[in-house]
Amino acid sequence: MTDMLDIRRPDDWHLHLRDGAMLSAVAPHSAGFGRAIIMPNLVPPVVTGAQAAAYHDRILAALPKGAPLQPQMTLYLTDGTDPADVIAAHRDGIIRAVKLYPAGATTNSASGVTDFDRVRPVLEAMAEAGVPLCVHGEVTDPSVDIFDREAVFIDRVLDPIRRATPGLRVVMEHITTSDGVAYARSGGDDLGATITTHHLVINRNAILAGGIRPHYYCLPVAKRESHRLALRDAATSGEARFFLGTDSAPHTDAAKLQPCGCAGCFTAPNTMSILAHVFEEDGALDRLEAFTSLNGAAFYGLPANADRIRLTKRDVPARYPTSITAGDESVTVFDPGFPLYWHLED
Ligand code: NCD
Ligand code: ZN
12, 19, 107, 108, best to mutate for ligand 1 pocket (most atoms within 8 Å of CB): 107
Average pLDDT over residues 20-26: 98
Average pLDDT over residues 41-55: 97
Cis peptide leading into residue 44 (ω within 30°): yes
Q: Is the pLDDT of residue 112 over 90?
A: no
Average pLDDT over residues 114-122: 90
Non-local (6+) Cβ contacts of 85 within 8 A are: 48, 49, 75
Q: Is the pLDDT of residue 156 over 90?
A: yes
Average pLDDT over residues 272-279: 98
Q: Beginning with the edge strand found earlier in the chain, give each strand of the sheet holding 4-8 in spatial order.
A: 4-8, 308-313, 342-344
Count of helix runs (H) and strand runs (E) in the chain: 13, 13
Ranges of H-type helices in the chain:
20-30, 49-62, 83-91, 120-129, 149-153, 159-164, 178-186, 204-208, 225-235, 253-256, 271-281, 288-289, 295-299
Residue ranges of the binding site for substrate: 16-18, 41, 136, 219, 251, 263
- Bridge partners of residue 174, in order along the sequence: none
Average pLDDT over residues 273-293: 98
Q: How confident is the model at residue 111 (pLDDT cuts 50, 70, 90)?
A: confident
Residue 75's φ and ψ, nearest 5 degrees, are -105, 145
- Bridge partners of residue 344, in order along the sequence: 311
pLDDT of 21 reads: 98
Task: Name the residue at shortest CA distance from atom 9 of ligand 1.
Answer: 107
Q: Is 247 in the pocket of ligand 1 (CB under 6 A)?
A: yes
Is residue 60 within 8 Å of 53, Cβ to Cβ? no
The helix (H) or strand (E) run that includes residue 290 is none
Cis peptide leading into residue 339 (ω within 30°): no
Q: Is the pLDDT of residue 1 over 80?
A: no
Is residue 152 within 8 Å of 162, Cβ to Cβ? no
Ranges of H-type helices in 98-222:
120-129, 149-153, 159-164, 178-186, 204-208
Residue ranges of the binding site for Zn(2+): 14, 16, 99, 136, 174, 247
Which sequence spans correspond to the domains of the chain? 4-344
pLDDT of 147 reads: 98
pLDDT of 73 reads: 98
Q: Please return the burial class of 311, using the count of CB atoms within 10 Å of its CB with bins 0-12, 13-18 and 19+.
A: buried
- Bridge partners of residue 342, in order along the sequence: 313
Q: Is 246 in the pocket of ligand 1 (CB under 6 A)?
A: no
**Best CA proximity match to 85, nearest among 50, 116, 118, 114:** 50
Average pLDDT over residues 139-148: 96
Q: What is the DSSP letter of 287?
A: G
Q: How confident is the model at residue 104 (pLDDT cuts 50, 70, 90)?
A: confident
Q: Is 180 in the pocket of ligand 1 (CB under 6 A)?
A: no
The pLDDT > 70 percentage for the chain reads 100
Does CATH place domain 4-344 in 3.20.20.150? no
286 given a catalytic annotation: no
Atom of ligand 1 nearest to the CA of 218: 7
Q: Is the pLDDT of residue 2 over 80?
A: no
Catalytic one among 57, 179, 247, 253?
247
- Strand 35-38 versus strand 95-100 pairing type: unpaired
Q: What is the pLDDT of residues 184-237, one digit of tens each?
A: 999 999 999 999 999 999 999 999 999 999 999 999 999 999 999 999 999 999
pLDDT of 200 reads: 99
> What DSSP assignment string belongs to 7-39?
EEPP-EEEE---SHHHHHHHHHHHTTSSEEEEP
Q: Taking the complete model, does pTM exceed 0.85, yes or no?
A: yes
Average pLDDT over residues 245-260: 98
